[in-house]
Chains A and B, each alone.
Chain A
Amino acid sequence: MSNTIIKGSVDAEERRNLLKSINSAFQAFQVSLTLLLGPRVAAPYLCYFLFQMILLAAYLAGNSGPLAHFWALPVGGVSPEHLGHYPAHLLLLQPILGRIEIFLEIVLKCIFHGATVYLVTRAIRRSKPSLPRAFSAAGRRYPRLLVVSIISSLAVYAAVFLGVWLSSGKVGWAGYALLGGGIVAGLSIQSLFVYAIPLVMIDDVSAPSALASGISLSLKTYTKTLLIVALPFMLTVPTILLDIKAEMIALELSPDFMIYNHVASRVMELVSTYLITASATVIFLARKVDRPAGTSLDID
């Protein structure tokens, strides 16, 4: 009971004082980056990045025969034969791999999120982190992770697509405002679900409970939670802006630009995703330890 009172007063103080929230968020980033000194912590996301690169290499290498039929599936109205032509093959890279990766993001990446949460927790608790155990722990919780991933992804994509849909056909500032509004709503929703995977992995709770408790925790620590989601997102803004005009730039410079842009996007995504997951885990673990109001994060 006393714990709850103390934590409640810390949360209330952080909510009232923006500077304290920023300070807490940056401490979480600092801890997350310090944890990278043990290279295994970054391994799950690096594995996922390598998987994305293999997917890209497979797309680039195989643009004819049965593979072309597979690549043409995610985009309607494109014949597999069309993928055999230059520069169409490279210009279609973004929509095709983008759609495949959205699917993988929901059904596969949750295992990598879970493994990272596991390794970050082990690193903070000074236990020996093991990559196979991390994947094994995430694998055992896969159904719950999948449910959390589906619900949170659908909510985030719904907000972003609503913004895109509302902004389509609008010109000038109205269009940009609606698109920006969709992205801000998406980030806000993402910050509501950011503690759900740590709850599944660390507290071993059910998916509905993880979602409910995660949202509750996020609302209590809303400012710093929003900051640990929004600030890493800023890292990806340059590549998102390039994505918007990628086809035009590719036609103007060289269609190979699509490949480099894709790699750059995934590198920024790698960094940003790690920072969000690790920082959320750091904040989540810190709340499990008593600390008086106004003190720094006590993770040891």
Chain B
Amino acid sequence: MKISRTDSRIRTILVVATTVIMAAAVIPGCDIKDKSPAYKAEKDLFAARKLASELTFPAVNRDFLDRTLTSYRKIVDDYSGDVGSVEGLELTVVTAQMELSELQFRAAMFEDAKTDFLHAYEIAENVPAARANALWSAAFISRESGNAPEALTLFTKFHETYLTGEKILDTARLNRRYLLTPVRIAEICIARADADCAKKWLGESEIIFRHVIRSNASEEIKKETRYNLVSTYLLAEEWTKARDTIREMRKIYGDQADIPSLLYLEARVELDGFGNIDDAVSIFDKIVSEHPRSQEAPTALLMKGNILGSREKYDEAAAAYNRVVVEYESYKPETVEAIWQLAILEELRGNWVEASLHYKSVYINFPTTIQGMEAPLRIAAHYRKAGEADALEAAYERAAEHYKQLASLLHSETVSIVSEEYYVRTLIEQERWEEAAGRLLALPDMYPQYHSFKDNCLMAASIYETELGDPQRAAEILLSCATRYQGTSVSAEAQRQLDRIRKSQ
């Protein structure tokens, strides 16, 4: 009887446990079984996004980043083949490709990001918003990476595809920055000193902006377009048109918070266009006195300081800079610029102790700014000019230590890369050629995602050839470089230099 009761108990427990376990284990499997590839792709995309959301920038975990990028790539690779035959799959694949590219961009993998954006452009034929974004982003990265010809080609392609005729407004509604494409092209032309090209594209910008202002676009778009039109006139140095447009805007937006920025633009036109320095200073004063809490107020003080400094009115200039430091300390970029200008001012006045204290304040308090990077070398430059060898050596040691620390601390990868570049610059200024070349050659492996370091081998070879008088080692470096980066412009240049060295031998 006891055995029978025990059997019964065990049976009951088994029945209940089996039912529950079956439910828990088998039921979730029903979710993915026989689901369409579109559903499975969405599930994979969700998982990839989950990984991406766990990534912390700027101090990104490389292994985790690679896993995330692989997840996105796998979606594109696994499902691209079914895009034509499965409804809804294209959007997921394009989204994965776009998010992959954006992630690479955030991780400073600019070359990879550009390549993947261009791939997104190719595959997003039926996803217009993503297609436009992909092309524009690729062009933007090319420009930021200093590849002007490619940026020009891509921006021009964008203009032809999205900014002609009736497409302008639709494109503006997708993203208002797209309207700036002709301005970006003009900027590239200006950087290449191609005046005709710049004129042509600035003219095209004016046509597009005027079209939008006349259209039935929203007031928000129109207002931004008017600002862009002013920027176009400033770039084209059409000062009268710029001043007229600003004054027209002051009438339209007179009761809004735009007045300080319009006043600032007007002051710049008076200063840069008509050379009315006193009028410009008076407008800058007006911004500070009437709109002291505006974003433009500290910038206006900086501008006033620069004008007064250039007129050798050092005390008044210093007063303007000091006011920024004291009254606008929460405006970080303006504050660091004010301290930087104070340092230059004191150096001009021959007050090196004050100047060096300001430089030190800049690189200690704002190490990751461009002024913070420059400051240690500015101190060294002063001692070199003054011929103080011991002080110069100490300044370079401090600078090198500063850059090494910045590169190793948990700053963004961009800060680390810039610090490395400044460290190499310090070694070169110290004429520590072997160390500089060694560092140049080590950097591509330390930052494989930063493609600009590929060029380092050319510079290292040049150091060995010209500074160290070792063409044999230079040739070895160039050969390794040509082999490693085969098919790239770096490899071609390395091969050219190698041929030249071999001929000369």
CB closest residue in chain A, given B8:
A37
Q: Measured between alpha carbons, how far is A267 from B18 in the docked complex, in Å? A: 12
Q: Is the CB of B28 within 8 A of A85?
A: no
Given contacts A84-B36, A89-B39, A255-B46, contact A60 B12 (CB under 8 A): no
Q: Is the CB of A57 within 8 A of B30?
A: yes
Q: Is the CB of B30 within 8 A of A60?
A: yes
Give the Cβ gap from A230 to chain B, nearest Cβ, in Å: 24
Q: Is the CB of A259 within 8 A of B31?
A: yes
Q: Is the CB of A53 within 8 A of B15?
A: no
**What residues on B are CB-neighbors of A50 within 8 Å?**
19
Residue-by-residue, is B85-96 near A (CB-CB < 8 Å gives 1, otherwise 0)? 000100000000
Q: Is the CB of B46 within 8 A of A87?
A: yes
Tell yes or no: B27 within 8 A of A by CB. Answer: yes
Q: Is the CB of A46 within 8 A of B31?
A: no
Q: Measured between alpha carbons, how far is A89 from B42 in the docked complex, in Å? A: 11
Most buried by A among B28, B35, B36, B39: B28
Tell yes or no: A225 within 8 A of B by CB. Answer: no
Most buried by B among A57, A254, A256, A260: A57
Q: Is the CB of B27 within 8 A of A259?
A: yes
Given contacts A42-B16, A63-B39, A86-B39, contact A53 B23 (CB under 8 A): yes
Q: Is the CB of A60 within 8 A of B31?
A: yes
Q: Measured between alpha carbons, how far is A86 from B49 in the docked complex, in Å? A: 13
Q: Measured between alpha carbons, how far is A259 from B33 in the docked complex, in Å? A: 14
Q: Is the CB of B20 within 8 A of A90?
A: no
Tell yes or no: A286 within 8 A of B by CB. Answer: no
Q: Is the CB of B33 within 8 A of A46?
A: no
Q: Is the CB of B12 within 8 A of A61?
A: no
Q: Measured between alpha carbons, how far is A46 from B20 in the docked complex, in Å? A: 10
Q: Measured between alpha carbons, how far is A77 from B136 in the docked complex, in Å? A: 37
* Choice from A56, A61, A87, A260 contacting B33 with Cβ under 8 Å: A61
Given contacts A37-B5, A39-B11, A46-B19, contact A53 B39 (CB under 8 A): no
Q: Is the CB of B12 within 8 A of A37?
A: yes
Residue-by-residue, is A32-58 near B (CB-CB < 8 Å gives 1, otherwise 0)? 000011110010001001100100110
Tell yes or no: B160 within 8 A of A by CB. Answer: no
**What residues on B are CB-neighbors of A49 within 8 Å?**
19, 23
Q: Is the CB of B24 within 8 A of A263?
A: yes
Tell yes or no: A213 within 8 A of B by CB. Answer: no
Given contacts A37-B5, A86-B46, contact A61 B30 (CB under 8 A): yes
CB closest residue in chain A, given B20:
A267
Residue-by-residue, is B31-51 near A (CB-CB < 8 Å gives 1, otherwise 0)? 101111011001100100010
Q: Which of A18-39 contact B (CB under 8 A)?
A: 36-39
Tell yes or no: A206 within 8 A of B by CB. Answer: no
* Choice from A36, A46, A84 contacting B38 with Cβ under 8 Å: A84
Tell yes or no: A130 within 8 A of B by CB. Answer: no
**What residues on A are CB-neighbors of B31 within 8 Å?**
60-61, 89-90, 256, 259
**What residues on A are CB-neighbors of B16 within 8 Å?**
42, 46
Most buried by A among B12, B22, B34, B38: B12
Q: Is the CB of A61 within 8 A of B39?
A: no
Q: Measured between alpha carbons, how far is A134 from B30 in the docked complex, in Å? A: 32
Most buried by A among B8, B11, B34, B43: B43
Tell yes or no: B398 within 8 A of A by CB. Answer: no
**What residues on A are CB-neighbors of B210 within 8 Å?**
none
**What residues on A are CB-neighbors of B176 within 8 Å?**
none
Q: Is the CB of A60 within 8 A of B27?
A: yes
CB closest residue in chain A, given B39:
A86
Q: Measured between alpha carbons, how far is A174 from B348 in the docked complex, in Å? A: 68
Given contacts A39-B8, A63-B39, contact A46 B15 (CB under 8 A): yes
Tell yes or no: A64 within 8 A of B by CB. Answer: yes
Q: Which of A77-99 contact B (CB under 8 A)?
A: 84-87, 89-90
Q: Measured between alpha carbons, how far is A38 from B15 in the docked complex, in Å? A: 12
Q: Measured between alpha carbons, how far is A182 from B30 in the docked complex, in Å? A: 36
Tell yes or no: B349 within 8 A of A by CB. Answer: no
Give the Cβ gap from B19 to chain A, nearest Cβ, in Å: 6
Q: Measured between alpha carbons, how far is A49 from B31 in the docked complex, in Å? A: 19
CB closest residue in chain A, given B50:
A254
* Choice from B5, B22, B36 contacting A64 with Cβ under 8 Å: B36
Q: Is the CB of B39 within 8 A of A57?
A: no
The list of the 6 closest CB pairs from A to B, nearest first, reads A86-B42, A60-B30, A39-B12, A61-B30, A60-B31, A53-B23
* A residues lining the B interface (CB < 8 Å): 36-39, 42, 46, 49-50, 53, 56-57, 60-61, 63-64, 84-87, 89-90, 254-256, 259-260, 263, 266-267
* B residues lining the A interface (CB < 8 Å): 5, 8-9, 11-12, 15-16, 19-20, 22-24, 26-28, 30-31, 33-36, 38-39, 42-43, 46, 50, 88
CB<8 Å pairs between A and B, sample of 8: A36-B12, A37-B5, A37-B8, A49-B23, A56-B27, A61-B30, A61-B33, A84-B39
